[in-house]
Chains A and B, each alone.
Chain A
Amino acid sequence: MPQVQLTINGETISAWVADNRSLLDFLREDLGLTGSKHGCDLGDCGACTVTVDDRPRLSCISLAVLCDGRDVQTIEGLGRHDALHPVQAALHKHVGSQCGYCTPGIAMRLATLIKANPNPDDSEILSALGANICRCTGYTKILAAAREIIGGWTEPNHTPDGHLA
């Protein structure tokens, strides 16, 4: 079993993982980070979306061993109740989350988009969300949340433990 060392939500993690361990199972089962969800285990739904080196990644079809040396962000590191990421605050305000199962993946996807491009146009927002299925909202309130935050936020300040300052 190979050893990996990686950063997860700002915390350095060193662990032995099986070659075939998915990043999603590594996060959920080994580290207790259950915010990222199993929806299909085939890369079809987007509920498991995390970021690896600031790029969105479907963790259910990513291998944990290939994340050696990388920087992984999950929903648990995005923001907390007293320091919500603007994407989360907007999703909350617009009730862009109904059952909430797709929400971690969608929040990570939108946060990545806004970080890379603070002023995305509508086609870029659609393109970002195209790989994330939401079965509750008809995407309407999610799009309303995304459109509200365009251009209106700055990069949050992370503390060393990965939480937002």
Chain B
Amino acid sequence: MGPEHSHVGADADVIGTGGLGKIDGIAKITGAAIFTDDIQLPRMAHAKLLRSPHPHARILSIDTAAALALPGVLAVMTGRDLPTKHGAIPVAQDETALALNRVRYIGEPVVAVAARTEAIAHAAVRIIRVVYEPLEAIMSIEDALDPDLPPIHPDARRPSNVLRRVHQHHGDVDAGFEAADLVTEGTYNYPGSTHVPLETHAAVAQPLPEGRLKLWTSTQNPHYVHKTVARVLGMPEADIRLIKPDVGAGYGGKCETFASDLCASWLARKLDRPVKLTLEREEVFYTHRGRHPTRMWIKMGMKADGTITAVDFKAWADGGAAASFGVVTAYYLGVFLALPYTIENFRFTAMRLYTNHPPCGPKRGHGALQPRFAVEVHIDKMAVALDLDPAEVRSGQLAPAPSTSVNGLHVTSTALDRCLEEVVLASGYSARRGRLPHGRGVGIATSVYMCGALHGVYPDDLPHSGVQIQIDRSGRVTIFSGTADVGQGSNHMLATLVSERLGITPNLCRVVEGDTDLCPVDLGSYSSRVTFMAGNAAIDAADKLRARIATTAAIALDTDPEALRFRDGSISGAMRSLPWIEAVQLAEAATGTLGATGSYRPPKARKAFRRSPIGPSPAYSFTAAAAEVQVDTDSGIVVVDRVWCAHDLGRVLHPQIAEGQIEGSVYMGVGEALLEEQQYDGGQMRTPSILEYRIPTVYDTPAIDAILVESHDPGGPYGAKEVGEGPQLPVVPAIANAIFDAVGVRMDHPPFSPDKVLRALQGRPPLGVPPLPPDGPTRRES
């Protein structure tokens, strides 16, 4: 199959070069970047939230009289002021701006106060009296599955603490097990963890004189927040201007509309003055939307040569008190296991459950990461049991391109074979596995991830990404895009692709992004969709302008438009060339103001996906990782010395930015492997601060070798695919497999803390890992 775009695999001048930073890098290193909390406006009031001390309780009364009497307090808001339900997914809208009648987790916002200063708002929140009637709390997966316990969302259309159960069977799993030489089962427990973006969530709302509203917010998804704020406030979308300023990262934690957005907006409109609401660090822990704690069971069949004959998989995910993206999570817990190996027989059941914990949501590798851990550790165990090299077991059955998995995931490009070779070679895996001194070990794992979803959150036929480009007669190129650069470098990506098409330096490009009054819609920075989708939209717009400029330049250069080269700031024919600015002005003189729009809509799913469109992506990225560890058998302390991570990103658009995404992914994987775990005492998060919730410092971070591998995807911009999430997926299982190589014990329940490692070395089961839950109710099949 040939490339779908002429630019796939084409030579490039700007693409692939680096070493000069990012186009928006100077603002970040000089402190000039403006984040939401940096915004100061005249008459701006400050808001604070009062949060629930109960995991589950009925709100009997709220007494705000003392707070309102406090000098400087301007307004108080409760759940009744903004009762419209909202949520990330249209079929599961179960949140309100502030708790309405009932609280469902410790830390849920209940009351908002606006005051002249932040200190007054803080003082006012503390003298509000809320009377609660505690209710029985759903504190575990077992509780959520217990049909005798009440649903925490009793007013849902079909009340149940099972938000979604997904069951799929492809091929014939039982026949696959019969054909196997070895069939084994395993149980795995993956803990909850959270994003900890250094910038806390913040919003500044400003009423505009015409009755409209301007809202700056720290978000990954300006478009969805825009829609939600409009709907909840009862305003036309056109009357709200949502602006995403510089954002201090998200990693999935800033995909949704939060109390900060809705309360700042409502209070600003009530007071007719600007209102800022910035969360404190502890509040971010309660806002959460992080990794689902997931219990998993796997049964796998393998032939003596390592060929996987069948995979049967079950997952139970504790989703916390709100749906968030949980309907999607339930699918992601299963569907991606059909890759990156060719697996003909595959069955899974996944459940996303409600409990009275802070809501889980999408964290880097959303839903796909926990099952990948289980499968990659399990493959390692079976390979060892069959006396095979785990790397060869993997490399022998990688899905080729093009191919379609048994559940309809269409692989358009893959270089996973080369990724695996790279990490095996770099780590010396084949020669060193099993041969290092006791206490040292190497391990590997591979993975697959998506480049955006074929279907957006709302079912419609609209483009997923739009880009508008305007070329000024000064030669400056302005790119308007609804994307949200949250640090990953999407602004530089847009400038790179546009400047490549126009033959100019990226520094001539200005990117205006994340502003709903100025930019065409892009669905947002989630699902690793931005490079693939917004990148294609940018090329679409740039090529329309390139064609206009070429037409007039060809006349001036007395040649054919197709023969022109756009390169190094000039447009050249065989004999003569025009400087960029001259060519721009000739085109503007002949055809009028130079502007164009471009858009991207994913292709339709190729194969009817059994009862669900969730899982298919226009392209898949692939990763292989190797880890080297030291295990101290006296203390149980694991040190990860080095991680090699080779990622098939289709095409390198900017090497340092791409490497940075891999390095950040490895870092986050190391955190989840060794340190990060959310634990609760009766619904109270044990570690709601950066000191207590241990995240890796520079001391805890291994040497990281980011290896960029290209596969030139036929649908990607210049062949590019995602690099922001996929590289995290194989890191934790590679570390677990390395620990086995080092000391001969299997670590099936991250984080691999000293106590767990010591107990494993003593042949004892880990503490605090519960047995598998029952299969649960069979209703709500989907």
Contacts and interface: CB of A to CB of B under 8 A. Distances in A.
Contacts of A78: 30-31
Contacts of B38: 28, 34
A103 B28 CA distance: 7
Given A135-B695, A137-B664, A141-B660, A98 B488 contact: yes
Contacts of A88: 29-30
A41 interface: yes
A100 interface: yes
Given A40-B690, A88-B30, A135-B695, A95 B660 contact: yes
Interface string A133-165: 111111111110000000000000000000000
A134 to B, nearest CB: 8
Given A34-B38, A133-B695, A133-B697, A47 B19 contact: no
28 contacts: A34-B31, A34-B34, A35-B31, A37-B248, A42-B690, A45-B690, A76-B30, A81-B26, A84-B29, A88-B30, A92-B26, A95-B657, A95-B660, A97-B25, A99-B487, A100-B29, A101-B35, A130-B698, A132-B698, A135-B196, A135-B197, A135-B251, A135-B667, A135-B695, A140-B659, A140-B706, A141-B656, A141-B663
B198 A99 contact: yes
A39 B281 contact: yes
Contacts of A41: 280-281
Interface in B20-68: 20-22, 25-35, 37-38, 40
A75 interface: yes
A107 interface: yes
Contact of B22 (A47, A81, A95): A95
A131 to B, nearest CB: 8
B545 to A, nearest CB: 28
Given A33-B31, A140-B659, 17 more contacts: A28-B38, A38-B200, A81-B26, A92-B26, A94-B656, A97-B28, A97-B29, A98-B488, A98-B489, A99-B199, A103-B31, A126-B698, A130-B699, A133-B697, A135-B664, A135-B667, A142-B698
Contacts of A59: none
A44 interface: yes
Interface of A: 28-29, 32-42, 44-45, 47, 74-76, 78-81, 84, 88, 91-95, 97-104, 107, 126, 129-143
A140 B200 CA distance: 24
B119 to A, nearest CB: 9
A122 to B, nearest CB: 11
Contacts, number: 169
B549 to A, nearest CB: 30
Interface of B: 18-22, 25-35, 37-38, 40, 195-200, 246-249, 251, 278, 280-281, 486-489, 656-657, 659-660, 663-664, 666-668, 689-691, 695, 697-699, 701, 704, 706
A104 B53 CA distance: 35
Contacts of B667: 135, 137-140
Describe A's contact surface by its main secondary structure.
loop
A30 to B, nearest CB: 11
A41 B34 CA distance: 19
A140 to B, nearest CB: 4
Contacts of A133: 196, 198, 690, 695, 697
A38 B757 CA distance: 37
Contact of A137 (B33, B40, B247, B660): B660
B657 A38 contact: no
B445 to A, nearest CB: 18
Contact of A99 (B31, B247, B278): B247
Contact of A37 (B196, B198, B666, B689): B198
Nearest to B703: A140
Contacts of A45: 198, 281, 690
B662 to A, nearest CB: 8
Contacts of B656: 94-95, 141
B25 A95 contact: yes
A133 B280 CA distance: 17
Among A76, A95, A103, max chain B CB count under 10 A is at A95
